[in-house]
Chains A and B, each alone.
Chain A
Amino acid sequence: MSALAPGHIRTVDGNEAVASVAYRTNEVIAIYPITPASPMGEWADEWSAHGRLNIWGTVPVITEMQSEGGAAGALHGALQAGSLATTFTASQGLLLMMPTLFKIAGELTSFCMHVASRTVATHALSIFGDHSDVMACRTTGFALLASSSVQEAQDLACIAQAATLQARVPFLHFFDGFRTSHEVARIEELTDGELRAMIDDELVAAHRRRALTPDHPVLRGTAQNPDAFFQAREACNLFYERCPGILQDTMDRFAGLTGRRYHLFDYAGHPEADRVIVLMGSGAETVHETVEWLMARGERVGVAKVHLYRPFSLSDFVRALPPTVRAIAVMDRTKEPGALGEPLYLDVVAALAEAQMTGRSPFRQIPRVIGGRYGLSSKEFNPAMVKAVFAELASASPKQHFTVGIVDDVTHTSLPIEPDFDIEPDDVRRAVFFGLGSDGTVSANKSSIKIIGEETGRWVQGYFVYDSRKAGAMTISHLRVAPYPIRSAYLIRQAHFVACHHLEFLERYDVLAYAAPGAVFLLNAPHGPEALWDALPREVQQQILDKRLAVYVIDADRLAKELGLGGRINTIMQACFFAISEVLPRDEALSQIKEASRKIYGKRGDEIVNKNLAAVEAALDRLWKVAVPDRVTATRTLPPLVPDEAPDFVKKVTAVMLAGKGDWLPVSAFPVDGTWPLGTARWEKRNLADNIPVWDPAICIQCNKCAMVCPHAAIRAKVYAPALLRTAPQTFKAMDFKGREFPGLKYTVQVAPEDCTGCHLCVMVCPAKDKSNPKHKALEMQLQRSLRDVQRPNYAFFLQLPEADRTVVKQDVKSVQFLEPLFEYSSACPGCGETPYIKLLTQLFGDRALIANATGCSSIYGGNLPTTPYTTNRDGRGPAWSNSLFEDNAEFGFGFRLAIDKQREEARELLARLGAQIGNTLVGELLHADQGSEAGIAAQRQRVAVLRQKLASLQTVESHRLGLLADALVRKSVWIVGGDGWAYDIGYGGLDHVLAMGRDVNLLVLDTEVYSNTGGQQSKATPLGAATKFAVAGKALPKKDLGLLAMTYGHVYVARIAFGAMDTQTVRAFLEAESYPGPSLLIAYSPCIAHGYDLAFGVEQQKLAADSGYWPLYRFDPRRLAHGESPLMLDSPHPKSDLAQYMRNETRFRMVEQQDGERFRALLAEAKQEVAKRWALYEHLARFMAPSHIQGERSGT
C-alpha cells in the first residue's frame, strides 16, 4: 500500500466506496433495491439529486425500475444506445438479471456492474453474504472479478470499469455482502483525477461508435439457426482470451497511478510454501492474516487470492502459486449440491490437471487438492478455521469436500477447530458495543471510527451485526483501531472495551463473553455506582471478577430524556467511550465529537445540534467508575430463555438461537428441507416495553377495539363461564359481558405483559373515558417492570380459558375479536400497520388458510428465525405459510389454489365412485355441503372424520387415495399476502395474471406506499408529494390506482380498506373477499415507520387519510350486480378534512416542505386536485355502473 496522500483518506463502507467510483464513471444507472446492495443505488440517487458530477462534468441519471429484470433491460438498452451504464444488485436480483446478462455479454458490451454478493434463497431466504449468486452467473459470459476488502472493492471497481472498455467483455465486480459492503474502513479514496486517468476517452468513444443509431444503423438481436449460431458464438473467443491480459495491464496502470498493486491472482505467504489455500472474497484477508501469523511461527503456508475468476487464466493461476506447493485447499463460499465439488474447486482441479497435461505445470509434484465450503450466509470465518484447514492439509489424508465453521454431525464433513485460538495482537485496540437499534449506537460508532480514522492516522474497521427483528432490534458493533491496515474480516472475540447500552441485554446475552481479561466494561443502567453491583446477576458478577474488568456506569437514558434527546443515547455513550477508552486524548476526543455532532446534526437543525453538544458535556459528569467488590454477592441468577414447559425443539434449538449461540448448533439439529414448526414465538418473552396497558373494567365498554388494532396480538378479549374464575389468580380482572350474544358470561381484556411492545395503539384507540376524569381511560399505560410479575400468571390463566365457539360468534368487529388470533408476538415494529390485518385474517380464516407471502416485511416478521409467529389452535389447525420469492408470490399462491381445487375435484370424483361403499347419504352431504359459514365448515369437518372411519374399513386402492385427499373436501382459504413493492411493482405482472384467471384466491396488499423492508425506496404505490429514496424532492406523479385497474376486469372483488379509519368496513371486506368465489384484492392502508411519525397515532392518521379523501374506502363486489346494484360502493364519506393536515403529520411529506416550501405547496395543490379527481371518478363509477343506469343507457333513456 502506498504512502497515504493527505486529503485522500476517507472512512467509508464498501458500498459507498464502490458506488462513488461507479457513479463518477457512468452516465446511466438503473437499479432496484435489494439487500445488501441497496445503499449503492441510494448513494447514487442522493448524489444525483444533489447535482454531483461524474468525471465528464455531468450528473448521471438514476432510475429505479420495477425489478432487477427491469433494471437489466433498461441497462441493456442504455448500453446499446451508447451510454456508459451500471447497476448494483445481489442474490435473487442478480438472478433476475441473468437472461439479460447473457445478452449483454453475447453482444460484447463494455459494461461493469457491482454485486454485494448474497446468499440465494433455497431452503430459506438469507440476506447475508456468500457467493451463491455470483456463482450462478458463471455461464453468462461476464468476467467475474472479486474484491476482498473495502479498499480493494473501490480499486477494482475502477479497474473493472476501465478494463471492460478495452476488453469489451462485461464485468461483474463483486465483494462480500455485509462483510465488505457494510464494513466501514479507512481507505485511500480515488480522486476524480485518478479516475479520469484510468478511463480512456478513446475507448469510451469506441463504445459510443458501436451504439445503435439511425444515423448509421445496424441490427442486433437476430434469431440464428443451426447453420449459424454455433460459429457465431465462437466468434467472441479472442475477446475472452485477451481479457485477462487487458485486466492485468489495467491493474498495472492503476498501480503506477496509485501505488496499489493487484494481480489476477495475488499470492501471499511463504515463497516455498507447501500448503496453500485458494479462495476469493473477504475470507482471503483472514487467511492472509493467519498465514502471516503461522509463517512467523515457522510454517510454510500461503494463500492465493482469486481476483479474476472468469475468464479463468490458467497460466496466471499456476504462475501465482509457489512451485513447492504440495497441498491446496480450495475454499468456496457457496454450495452446489450434487456437484463433484464447488465451482472454484472444480476450476482449480481442472487448471492443475490441464497444466500438467499440457506441460505447463511448474510444480515439483502435482499438488493434492481438496475442496471445502465455508462462510455460507455470512457464517463466521476466522483464524481458528483457517488454522484448521492448514492443519487438515498437513494430514496424511485430508478430508475431501470438507466444511469449516459448523459442526456437521450428519455427513461429518466439518473440520474440528480450536475455539479459543486467537491471533489478534495487542496493538489492535478492539471494542464491542451492544446497542438497541433505536438508540443510535451504530451511528455513534460510525462517527467514532470516522473521527479516529480521519483524524489520527490510524487504521480503523467497523463492522455492525444488525438484528433481523424489527421490534427491540439489537445491534452489536465491532470496532478495531490499529497502527497498520486491518485484515481481520471476522468478529471480535476478545475486546479491550465492551459497552452494553441496554441493561436488559445482560439478562439475555452473554455480553461479557466478548471481554478480554482486564477490559473496560461500560454499562448504561438506571443505577448509580453504589447500587449497580447488587443489580447485576450472579453470572455477570462472576465474569467481571474472573476477567478483572474495570466497570463504568452511566444512566444515559435519564440524561437523554433530560436533554430532550428521547431514546437517543448515542452521543452520550460516544462521549463516555472516548473518555475511558483512551483511544484519543480525552480533550481532543471530546472536541472531535462536538465537531462531528455539528456535521451530523447540522442538517437536523440548531436545536438538535445544541442538545447533542450539551450531551457531550453532561455525559462525563454522570459517568461513574464502579468499585468492584472482591467477591460475588448476587443471589439472583439469569432466568432461562424459554420456560421448562416449552417443547423439546424449542428448548434444544430455538433457545440456543435466542441466546445468540446458533453457530453452536450441529447440522442434525436442523430440518432437512426448511420446514419449521409453528407457534414458537410464544416461548420467547422479550419484555421490550417500558410501559404496557392496564385495563380498568369499571370504564370499559367492551368494544374490543384494543384487540383489533394490536399489531402483536398482545392484548386480547375473551368471554367465558363465571365458574372458570374459581381458579383465577387474585389479581385477574373480569366483568360481566354486556351484550346479548353471550348472556351470563364473564368478559376480560388481558394484556400479554412480556409480549407487548408498548406501542400505545390500544390506549389511543380506546374510546372509554372516565366521565369525571376523562384523562383516565379503560386502558392506561403503566410501567411494565412493576407489572410483569403480577400480570404473567394472569395472562397464563387467560390463555387457558376456552376460546369462543367459532360457530356462534357473530362476524362483526367486536365479536371477531373473540376469535383466537393465530398470528402472535411477531417481530414487527411497534405500532406496525400491517400486522393487524394479518392477525385479523388468521382470526377469521386461520384454521383453513394457506398463505403465500411475498418477500418483504411481512415475510421477515412472519418467518424470520429464531421464532415463528404463526401458530395453531387447540385442534392443531392453523395457517400453512410459505414464502417463495418477492416476484412470484401471486403465482405461488395461485399454485396453492390449483392444487387444492384439483385435489378437491379428485376427492369428489372418488366420492362419487365409492358412493355405494361409503353410503350415499354421507357422500351426498359431503358433495353438497354448504360451507359458507363457520357452522357449515365445522359440519363438513365432522363428515370428513366420519368418512375417514368408513374408508379405514374399505382398504382399497381408491379408498386409500380418497383418505389422502379427504381434507380437500373442507373449504380452504388461499391468501396471497405481500407489500406494495410486490403488488405494484415486481410482482404486478403475476398479480394481474392471477386476477385475470378467475380462480378463488384472496390477495392482501399491505400497502405502506414504499419499500419498507429495504429502507424506504419509492414504489409505484408511493403517493404524490412524498419524499422517499429515489424521490428525494417529493414524488411528482400520483400513486398507481391498483384497485381501479383490478376493477376493470369486472369479475374481481376489490376493496380498499384502512382498519383505523373504519374497522367495520375492514372486517366486512375480509369476509366478503373470502366468500367471493373468484379472485379478491384487498388493498390495506398500512402505517409504517417509513412514513415518519409516531405510530401511536396510526389510527388517527388513518382517519385523516380516509376523511381527507387521501385513502378513499370502497368495496367493489361483482355479486351486487345480480341484485341490481352497482358493484362499487363508496364506504368513506365525501372528503371533508384538509389533506394538508394529513400530510403535514408525516415526515415523508413534511420533509418536502422542509426542503422546499414552494414545491411542497405546489405538490399539495396537485395532491388536492388528484384527491378531488379520483373521488369524482369513483362517484361517477359507483353511479354509472349500476345496472339500472347501464340499462338506461342502452335503451337510450
Chain B
Amino acid sequence: MDLSTTYLGFQLPHPLMPGASPLVDDLDMVKRLEDAGASAIVLHSLFEEQIACEQARTAYDIDTYVESFAEATSYFPCRVHFAWGPDQYLEQIRRIKEAVAVPVIGSLNGTTAAGWLNYARRMQQAGADALELNLYVIAADPAESGEAVERRALEIVRTVKQAVTIPVAVKLSPFFCSFAHFAHQLDEVGVNGLVLFNRFYQPDLDVENLEVVPKLNLSDSSELLLRLRWTAILSGRLRASLAVTGGVHTAQDAIKAVMTGAHAVQLVSALLQHGPERLNTIREEMVRWMEEHEYHSLRQMQGSMNLTRCPDPAAFERANYMRVLQNWRS
C-alpha cells in the first residue's frame, strides 16, 4: 500500500509521526520510535519563557547567599558549567540527527522577538530539518485586540522565515476569531505548514483548598473532531502542508485526519499510553482498512472529505451544530 505523503516538502513514507512531547528526551525512545516507523521526529518545544525563568531562578538561588557569611562564601559548586535549556535542546537535536535517518523537526515557543530568532537559527545550525513554531498564546490582556495578537504572530513567523532556510510549520490553537483568515495570512507570509491544534494545560479547581490546579490529561478521540473540522475547512485552500495533532488514537482517527486533508498525523497520547510501537500498529491497521476498502494510495483519500470535496460541506460549518442538536431532540 502506498502511504506516502509530502509534509513541509519532505517526501515521507507515511504521515504518522510522534507529536511534540517529552518522548524524544530519551535517545533510546527516539530509536524505538524510528524502529516503529515514525516518518519524522518532532521534538518537544523549547520554551523561551521557561529558560529565562530557570536561569533567573537558578541565579537567584545560587547567588543570593554568595559572599554573605564568613564561613560560607558560597553554598553550591561555583564553577559548574550549566548546559541551559537551549544548549541541552540543541545538543539533543544533534544527537537525534546522528541517531536517526528520518527528518528531525525542532519545536520552539518564544516570548521575545530576539528569542524566536536566536533559537530558530540555532536549531537550524544544530541540524534540525524543519521547525515547528509553537504559537502558544492565551490572549488574556483586555487591552490587546485580536488583530494585534494575529499581527504579532505573523511578525514572528515572518521574522523566523527570513532567518532560516529550513521549512517552518506553525502550531496553533483554535482560539482565533477568524481562524481561516488567519491561516491564510500565515500562508501568505510563507509558512510551510500548519499544525492543528495545540493542547493546553487546563487550569482546574481544587474546591476544598480554593486553589487553581493546572492539569494536562491525555487526549482521547473525541478531541479529534475539532481538528477534523478545521483541517477540512483549510484543506486545499493553502500552499502550506497540514498536520493534525491531538486526539489521534486509532487507525480510523488517522484515516479521518488524512481524509480531511492532513499531510501529517501526529500522535502523543497514544504513544505515551501504549508505547512507541503503537505507531506501527496504527500504520498496519490503516493499511488493512485501506486494503479492505480498496484504496490504492494515501493520496487517493487525502483531502477527500475536505470542505470542497465532501458531499455535505455545510456540515463542517454552522449546520454541524444544528444537526447534532436536532438529532438529540429527536
Residues of chain A at the chain B interface (Cβ within 8 Å)? 35-36, 38-39, 42, 45-46, 49-50, 127-128, 178, 182, 437-438, 440-443, 446, 464, 466-468, 470, 473, 475, 564, 566-568, 601, 603-608, 767, 769, 771, 774, 829, 860, 1012-1016, 1027-1029, 1032, 1089-1090, 1092-1094, 1147-1148, 1150-1151, 1154-1157, 1161
Closest residue of chain B to A178 (Cβ to Cβ) is B70
CB atoms of A608 and B25 under 8 A apart? no
* B65 touches which of A437, A564, A769, A774 (Cβ 8 Å): A437
Residues on A with beta carbons closer than 8 Å to the beta carbon of B76? 1016, 1027-1029, 1090, 1092, 1147-1148, 1151
CB atoms of A1029 and B69 under 8 A apart? no
15 more CB-based (< 8 A) A-B contacts, given A127-B71, A438-B64, A1029-B77? A42-B77, A437-B67, A441-B67, A443-B66, A446-B67, A468-B69, A601-B59, A603-B81, A608-B56, A1013-B72, A1015-B73, A1015-B75, A1016-B76, A1154-B88, A1161-B25
Closest residue of chain B to A39 (Cβ to Cβ) is B73
Q: How far is the CA of A568 from the CA of B62 in the complex (A)?
A: 12
Q: Would you list 25 pairs from A and B whose C-beta atoms are within 8 A, ordered by A residue?
A: A39-B73, A42-B77, A46-B77, A46-B79, A437-B65, A437-B69, A441-B67, A466-B67, A467-B69, A568-B63, A601-B59, A603-B81, A603-B82, A604-B63, A608-B59, A1014-B72, A1015-B75, A1016-B72, A1016-B74, A1016-B75, A1028-B77, A1089-B75, A1150-B54, A1150-B58, A1151-B77
CB atoms of A608 and B81 under 8 A apart? no
Residues on A with beta carbons closer than 8 Å to the beta carbon of B51? 605, 607
Q: How far is the CA of A327 from the CA of B315 in the complex (A)?
A: 112
Q: Which of B69, B76, B79, B80 has the most CB of A within 10 A?
A: B69
Q: How far is the CA of A1148 from the CA of B78 in the complex (A)?
A: 12
Q: How far is the CA of A473 from the CA of B67 in the complex (A)?
A: 10
* B55 touches which of A475, A604, A1032 (Cβ 8 Å): A604
Q: How far is the CA of A39 from the CA of B63 in the complex (A)?
A: 17
CB atoms of B55 and A608 under 8 A apart? yes
Asked whether B35 is an interface residue with its Cβ less than 8 Å from the other chain, the reply is: no
- Top 3 nearest A-B pairs (CB, nearest first) are A437-B68, A1015-B72, A605-B55
Residues on A with beta carbons closer than 8 Å to the beta carbon of B72? 35, 38, 1012-1016
CB atoms of B68 and A1161 under 8 A apart? no
CB atoms of B77 and A1027 under 8 A apart? yes
Closest residue of chain A to B74 (Cβ to Cβ) is A1015
Residues on B with beta carbons closer than 8 Å to the beta carbon of A606? 55, 84
Known A-B contacts A39-B73, A466-B68, A769-B210; the reply to A604 vs B79 at CB < 8 A is: no
Closest residue of chain A to B71 (Cβ to Cβ) is A35
Asked whether B60 is an interface residue with its Cβ less than 8 Å from the other chain, the reply is: yes
Asked whether B317 is an interface residue with its Cβ less than 8 Å from the other chain, the reply is: no
Asked whether B155 is an interface residue with its Cβ less than 8 Å from the other chain, the reply is: no
CB atoms of A442 and B67 under 8 A apart? yes
CB atoms of B80 and A1032 under 8 A apart? yes
CB atoms of A1151 and B58 under 8 A apart? yes
Residues on A with beta carbons closer than 8 Å to the beta carbon of B65? 437-438, 829, 1089
Asked whether B61 is an interface residue with its Cβ less than 8 Å from the other chain, the reply is: yes
Asked whether B83 is an interface residue with its Cβ less than 8 Å from the other chain, the reply is: yes
Q: How far is the CA of A1094 from the CA of B53 in the complex (A)?
A: 14
Asked whether B322 is an interface residue with its Cβ less than 8 Å from the other chain, the reply is: no
Residues on A with beta carbons closer than 8 Å to the beta carbon of B70? 35-36, 127-128, 178, 466-468
Q: How far is the CA of A45 from the CA of B74 in the complex (A)?
A: 14
Residues on A with beta carbons closer than 8 Å to the beta carbon of B66? 440, 442-443
Asked whether B204 is an interface residue with its Cβ less than 8 Å from the other chain, the reply is: no
CB atoms of B69 and A1154 under 8 A apart? no
Q: How far is the CB of B11 from chain A (nearest CB, A)?
A: 33
Asked whether B52 is an interface residue with its Cβ less than 8 Å from the other chain, the reply is: yes
CB atoms of B25 and A564 under 8 A apart? no
Residues on A with beta carbons closer than 8 Å to the beta carbon of B67? 437, 440-443, 446, 464, 466, 475
CB atoms of B82 and A1154 under 8 A apart? yes
Known A-B contacts A442-B67, A566-B60, A1093-B61; the reply to A774 vs B210 at CB < 8 A is: yes
Asked whether B26 is an interface residue with its Cβ less than 8 Å from the other chain, the reply is: yes
Q: How far is the CB of B109 from chain A (nearest CB, A)?
A: 15
Known A-B contacts A603-B82, A1015-B72; the reply to A1089 vs B64 at CB < 8 A is: yes
Residues on B with beta carbons closer than 8 Å to the beta carbon of A1029? 76-77
Closest residue of chain B to A446 (Cβ to Cβ) is B67
Q: How far is the CA of A473 from the CA of B64 in the complex (A)?
A: 11
Q: How far is the CA of A397 from the CA of B210 in the complex (A)?
A: 82
Q: How far is the CB of A867 from chain B (nearest CB, A)?
A: 17
Closest residue of chain A to B78 (Cβ to Cβ) is A46
Residues on A with beta carbons closer than 8 Å to the beta carbon of B73? 39, 182, 442, 466, 1015
Q: How far is the CB of B74 from chain A (nearest CB, A)?
A: 6
Closest residue of chain A to B68 (Cβ to Cβ) is A437
Q: Which of B26, B57, B61, B66 has the most CB of A within 10 A?
A: B61
CB atoms of B56 and A564 under 8 A apart? yes
CB atoms of B80 and A1027 under 8 A apart? yes
Q: How far is the CA of A438 from the CA of B25 in the complex (A)?
A: 36
* B68 touches which of A475, A1147, A1151 (Cβ 8 Å): A475
Closest residue of chain B to A603 (Cβ to Cβ) is B82
Which residues 146-160 of B sit at the A interface, judged by CB distance below 8 A? none
Q: How far is the CA of A995 from the CA of B92 in the complex (A)?
A: 51
Q: How far is the CB of A737 from chain B (nearest CB, A)?
A: 25
Closest residue of chain A to B89 (Cβ to Cβ) is A1157
* B59 touches which of A38, A127, A604, A1016 (Cβ 8 Å): A604
Q: How far is the CA of A1115 from the CA of B249 in the complex (A)?
A: 48
Residues on B with beta carbons closer than 8 Å to the beta carbon of A1161? 25-26
Known A-B contacts A39-B73, A50-B79; the reply to A605 vs B64 at CB < 8 A is: no
CB atoms of B58 and A1147 under 8 A apart? yes
Which residues 62-121 of B sit at the A interface, judged by CB distance below 8 A? 62-84, 88, 92
* A49 touches which of B74, B77, B82, B88 (Cβ 8 Å): B77
Residues on B with beta carbons closer than 8 Å to the beta carbon of A1156? 83
Q: Which of B60, B66, B75 has the most CB of A within 10 A?
A: B75
Q: How far is the CA of A1131 from the CA of B59 in the complex (A)?
A: 36
Q: How far is the CA of A604 from the CA of B52 in the complex (A)?
A: 10
Residues on B with beta carbons closer than 8 Å to the beta carbon of A442? 66-68, 73
Q: How far is the CA of A1012 from the CA of B62 in the complex (A)?
A: 13
Q: How far is the CB of A489 from chain B (nearest CB, A)?
A: 17
CB atoms of A1092 and B61 under 8 A apart? yes
Residues on A with beta carbons closer than 8 Å to the beta carbon of B68? 437-438, 442, 466-467, 470, 473, 475
CB atoms of B71 and A1013 under 8 A apart? yes
CB atoms of A1157 and B83 under 8 A apart? yes
Residues on A with beta carbons closer than 8 Å to the beta carbon of B54? 605, 1150, 1154
Residues on B with beta carbons closer than 8 Å to the beta carbon of A567? 64
Residues on B with beta carbons closer than 8 Å to the beta carbon of A566? 56, 60, 64
Q: How far is the CB of A479 from chain B (nearest CB, A)?
A: 14
Q: How far is the CA of A1150 from the CA of B78 in the complex (A)?
A: 15
CB atoms of A440 and B69 under 8 A apart? no
Which residues 178-225 of B sit at the A interface, judged by CB distance below 8 A? 209-211
Residues on B with beta carbons closer than 8 Å to the beta carbon of A446? 67
Q: How far is the CA of A555 from the CA of B67 in the complex (A)?
A: 22
Q: Which of B52, B58, B71, B210 has the most CB of A within 10 A?
A: B71
Q: How far is the CA of A606 from the CA of B52 in the complex (A)?
A: 8
CB atoms of A1090 and B75 under 8 A apart? yes
Q: How far is the CB of A214 from chain B (nearest CB, A)?
A: 38
Residues on A with beta carbons closer than 8 Å to the beta carbon of B52? 607
Q: How far is the CB of B19 from chain A (nearest CB, A)?
A: 21
Q: How far is the CB of A103 from chain B (nearest CB, A)?
A: 30
Known A-B contacts A1014-B72, A1154-B83; the reply to A1147 vs B55 at CB < 8 A is: no
Known A-B contacts A608-B56, A1151-B58; the reply to A1015 vs B71 at CB < 8 A is: yes
* B82 touches which of A127, A470, A605 (Cβ 8 Å): A605
Q: How far is the CA of A1029 from the CA of B77 in the complex (A)?
A: 5
Q: How far is the CA of A475 from the CA of B70 in the complex (A)?
A: 9
Residues on B with beta carbons closer than 8 Å to the beta carbon of A38? 71-72
Residues on A with beta carbons closer than 8 Å to the beta carbon of B77? 42, 45-46, 49, 1016, 1027-1029, 1032, 1151
Closest residue of chain B to A568 (Cβ to Cβ) is B63
